[in-house]
Amino acid sequence: MQWEHILATRTSRMKASEIRELLKLLAHPEIISFAGGIPDPDLFPAKELENAYSDILSSNERESALQYSVSEGYQPLREWIVTKMAGLGIPCDIDNIIITSGSQQALDYLGKLLLSPNDTALVGWPTYLGALGAFNAYEPNYDKLEPHTNRSAQHYADTAKVKGGQVKFAYMSVDFANPTGNTLNISERERVLDLADTLNCAVIEDAAYQTLRFDGETIPPILALEIARKGSIEKARTIYCGSFSKTLAPGLRVGWVCAAKPVISQLVLIKQASDLHTPTINQMVIYKIAKSIFYDHVDKIRGTYAARRDRMLQALADHMPDSVRWTKPEGGMFIWLTLPEHLDGAELLTKSLETQKVAFVPGAAFFADGSGRNSLRLSFSLADAATIDEGIKRLGLLLKSV
């Protein structure tokens, strides 16, 4: 059977994630990997998770935990999220929340909900690789979202029209972004809202790392700023995507979307047609852990990751050539390096694996047009101090040699 002639056109936009492929390197103990932006499993609340599963399966909750459930999600967990959102300056109720199988599923659903072929998505340059993967299946065009410039809404609209569609949303990770580690300041967030109001498009706020602030001043989420402007979440165009993957455990695949009720209603229909609901037992476990230890646990992991960030920044200062520049994030899991223009991150990775046994993610993967080849992403979340020192020292030697 030759499958190519019957595949949907959208499959031409699908490709393997460079990060998922690089994660395979973690199985090789000789490789120092700064590639996978994944939580440290030593920080998972393993005992609490074990106890939560045991309590549920040995109680009268067992039947509902193992049964089909509603697509909106487990009600007590949604109620807990409502309280959490209120603490962020986002007043809402349970009908403004849907539970998803991680925030990655939320991005896929939002692409399905909002994008028709040739519509335009405004994204960062660079932006989260997983978002590009999720949106690509719906055959959009991309344009650069640059909230720090005065690029006009009319320019975006005209460009989208030429390409046969319209601007449907602006997507960004506003706090300690993957891959750069950068955070949008309040004026940039306001600029995004102004732009979206003029274009009459949605804003997708990816808040996967919002809780992982180590230092600096907390900035309100875009959704909170918009509610302050308009008085109600029902008048807001911002769609907030949250996740427990970076704080509790990614393998449970529990995230959420907070938005106006018409958006949530449409997402419920998509979920009903997709996987029916996120596994109920996982939602129940997340709820038990969240209500008992969430904020104390977040404080613990923030302290660990902050120390690793500091160690990597110091190692970069000690070992990088003068021609290399890097970001200084206030939280999250990533540092972004910009290299001299003649260098190619993908070629450098090949050479690094061969000679220095250090892995990272080449920067071009995060650009919708494949540019940014003279950049790379480092993650500090998995490496201890000694590994960071040795890995950055080796990487510095390689860069000095080229």
pLDDT at 16: 65
Per-residue pLDDT tens over the stretch 155-164: 889 898 999 9
Same domain, 248 and 387: no
Q: Name, in order, each residue with C-beta under 8 angstroms of 65's C-beta and a sequence gap of 6 or more.
A: 56, 57, 280, 281, 284
Q: Is the pLDDT score of 395 beyond 90? A: yes
Per-residue pLDDT tens over the stretch 267-326: 999 999 999 999 999 999 999 999 999 999 999 999 999 999 999 999 999 999 999 999
pLDDT at 36: 82
Domain end residue (candidates: 260, 293, 326): 293
Number of domains in the chain: 2
Domain end residue (candidates: 293, 315, 337): 293
Same domain, 98 and 119: yes
Judge whether 52 lies within some domain. Answer: no
Same domain, 309 and 320: yes
Assigned token pair, 343: 């260098």
Same domain, 154 and 274: yes
pLDDT at 103: 94
Same domain, 214 and 301: no
Q: Is the pLDDT score of 23 beyond 70? A: no
pTM, whole model, 2 decimals?
A: 0.94
pLDDT at 2: 77
pLDDT at 19: 60
Judge whether 60 lies within some domain. Answer: no
Assigned token pair, 277: 């609901």
Q: What is the mean pLDDT of the chain?
A: 94
Judge whether 236 lies within some domain. Answer: yes
pLDDT at 25: 61
Same domain, 281 and 385: no
Judge whether 62 lies within some domain. Answer: no
Same domain, 175 and 34: no
In 307-356, where do the E strands start and end? 325-326, 334-338
Judge whether 63 lies within some domain. Answer: no
pLDDT at 21: 59
Same domain, 274 and 300: no
Judge whether 348 lies within some domain. Answer: yes
Range of the domain at 136: 68-293
Same domain, 259 and 345: no
Q: What is the CATH number of the domain that holds 364?
A: 3.90.1150.10
pLDDT at 6: 83
Q: What is the CATH number of the domain that holds 257?
A: 3.40.640.10
pLDDT at 10: 79
Per-residue pLDDT tens over the stretch 122-156: 999 999 999 999 999 999 999 999 888 778 889 88
Rounded distance between C-alpha atoms, residue 333 and residue 35, angstroms: 11
Sign of CA dihedral 297, 298, 301, 307: negative
Judge whether 220 lies within some domain. Answer: yes
52 φ, ψ (degrees, to nearest 5): -65, -45
- With both helix axes pointing from N to C terminus, report the angle between 385-401 and 345-355 in degrees, rounded to the nearest 10: 110
Same domain, 314 and 336: yes
Same domain, 113 and 146: yes
Same domain, 85 and 214: yes
- pLDDT: is 25 or 179 the higher one? 179
Domain end residue (candidates: 271, 293, 315): 293
Q: Is the pLDDT score of 262 beyond 90? A: yes
Judge whether 233 lies within some domain. Answer: yes
In 43-119, where do the E strands start and end? 97-100
